[in-house]
Structures are given as structure tokens and as C-alpha cells.
Amino acid sequence: MISLVSTILNDKAGALLLFIDLEKQSRFPDEMVVVDGGSQDGTWEFLLQRVNTLPFPLRPIQINGANVSHGRNQAIEAAQGEWIVTTDFGCRLDPLWIEKLVSPYEQDRTIQIVTGSWKINHSEIHSPAAWAEWALAHGEIGMVATPTCLASTRSIAFHKSVWSEFGKYPEDLSLAGDDAIFSLWMVSSKKRIAAAPEAICTWHRFDKLSSYFKESKRNFLGCGEALFFLNFGLKTGIQSALELLSLLALCLLSHPLSLLFFILIWTKRFLKWGKALRFLIETEHWSIGKGIRLLPWIIAFDVGTRWIGIRGYWQGFLQGFWRCRNTRSLLSRLQIPRW
């Protein structure tokens, strides 16, 4: 039995789109369990309306105040299937997504986990902030599934016993990081993992620059709370501190060495922004003038997401000492890599 699980909070539009995609699937789940964290925008009522209108059973559960990890755990706990498929509201699903994601398990019952792919549609990039992200990544935003990839809950399937052995998603993290911990563990514990690269989920990106800043803080806050991805916290943290120090020195000190210090520290950034601009001109066929007009957005995106991400990481690092002891103990017990 295949159980599709997800969580939602105040996203009626996302629910509408996901149900449209699910109705077009070449293979339906045997049930879908959705935990609503206490929506106030009509999402919960919309879920109730769709209970008897989908080509598969929908079982909505409302738990006011539930964070994402608690919602995921409760959805999986309530699921009747032994094979769990997860995705996120706000994503769009290829019509073959479920079929491709469960196929490896149905062909080989010793498979414990199947990773799926995700991507961003080029046609959905419209705002300057979204173009800045696209340019900085040279259009390579997404993940093609492999057995050792850092799989996301937006496109993954696993046997329910694996989730139980893991100890369920850690619930003491503020907002994010639980699925990354699960992915690190599933690879390091050498589970039987198969990849389904053709199980494609499309991830929606934001229009506003502030939304990317919030996402960066949220993601790295969870990493700091759990005390993993230490290479980001230390390496990127030191680099960001040097950048800020060199900028202050340039502004406050009228000395040739301050200018030299600034150039040495920021050269890597300058080259990165130049390559992003070149990508837009050569690959996206933008005019030079149009590319230069986007340059401030590229700079703001790159500097802002890194500095805000670092601040979130070290904020999480500190508050994790009293708020996230269970997660940190879980990482130690399961010997999950912290770097």
C-alpha cells in the first residue's frame, strides 16, 4: 500500500495546484494523509471539501500549532501504507512522478528508500530576484536523483520501518533541517537506496528578494540548531566576517592598505558576479544593458542570502544548546556527519 503524506499551513492556492497534478498522475496513491498546522485562510475547509472528490482517499488531519516535523511525523504515523511517499505543497508534480518514484521498490522489495529529482522551470522565472538566483547558479538549480544525493521531502519515498529506525523526524528544530538530517543519515547508514531520476518535482521560487532572505535564514537556522553543515558555518562565516571587516576598513580608514585588503577579500565575489552577468548575456541572450541593470539584484541576492544565512546559522548554534538537545543527541547517536 502506497501512502502519500504532506503538511500544509495557509496555502490554499498550493493545495489547489497540487491536487490538480495528483489527479493527472499515471498512478494514484492508495491514500493521502495531510496534516494542517492550523490554517486560517480557508485551506482546512478546502481540504475537507476535497475529501470525496479525488480519485484516491484523502485523510486531512488538523493539529493547531504543529511545526513541519511534527506534522510529518503525525502524517506518517497515521498512514496505513508500509511505503511512504512525501512531497510539499507549493510544488508541481510530473504526471509520472508517483509511478517512477515507487517503481524501484515494486521491482525489488529489498529497496528501503527511493530518491526523486526536483528542478525549477525556466519559464516560471520572472522577477529580478528570481533571475538573480538563476544567474548566480548558471541555470543549474535542482537535483537529479542519485542513491547518495541529499534528498528532500519534496520528492522521496521510503519504507515506514526506515522512518521508525531513524527515530522519526526531529521535532525540536524551529523551522527546517529535519529532512536534511534524515538524508544524511540514510546515506551514512548504508541503507538500500535506489534513485528515480525521472520522478520529477518542480519547485516554485519566489518573486520577492525578501522571501529568499527569509528562506536562507530559516534553512541555516535549522542547520545551526542541529549542529551540522559545520563547514558552512565556519568557512562561510569567516569569509563573511572578513568581507564585512574589509568593507568597514575601506569606509573608515583612508589608507592604501585598506583598499588592497578590500580588493583581495572581495575579488572572489567580483568574479562570481561577473560570471553570472556573462551567463545571462551568453546563455540567456540578454543585452549588455539589460544584464547590467540586473547586476544590483545579483549583488544584493548573493551578499544578502549569505550574510543572513550565516547570522541564522550562528543564532541556531547558540539557541540549539537549550532548545535542540534531542536533535543534537540524535545526530551523535546515529553518527550522522556534521561537516
| Range of lowest pLDDT (102-106, 242-246, 312-316, 333-337) | 333-337
* Structure confidence by residue, pLDDT tens digits, 134-151: 999 999 888 888 988 888
- Model confidence pLDDT, tens digit, residues 246-280: 999 888 877 788 889 999 999 999 999 999 999 99
Mean pLDDT computed over 231-255: 88
User: What is the C-alpha to C-alpha distance for residues 219 and 79, in angstroms, rounded to an integer?
Assistant: 27
- The per-residue pLDDT of the chain, averaged, comes to 90
- In sequence order, what are the residues at sequence separation of 6 or more whose Cβ sits closer than 8 angstroms to the Cβ of residue 277? 135, 291, 292, 294, 295, 298
What fold is seen in the domain 2-207?
Spore Coat Polysaccharide Biosynthesis Protein SpsA; Chain A (3.90.550)
CA–CA distances in Å: residue 188 to residues 148, 169, 249, 331: 9, 16, 44, 11
φ/ψ bin of 170: left (φ > 0), alpha (ψ from -120 to 50), beta (otherwise)? beta
Cβ contact 113:159 at 8 Å: yes
* SS3 sequence of 313-333: HHHHHHHHHHHCHHHHHHHHH
Q: CA-to-CA distance for 18 and 47, rounded, in angstroms? A: 12
Residue from 177, 3, 149, 145 nearest 74 by CA: 3
Please check the confidence at residue 22 and state whether its pLDDT lies above 80: yes
Residue 67 pLDDT > 80: yes
Domain with CATH 3.90.550.10 in the chain: 2-207
Tell me: the pLDDT tens digits for 91-133?
A: 899 999 999 999 999 889 899 999 999 999 888 898 999 999 9
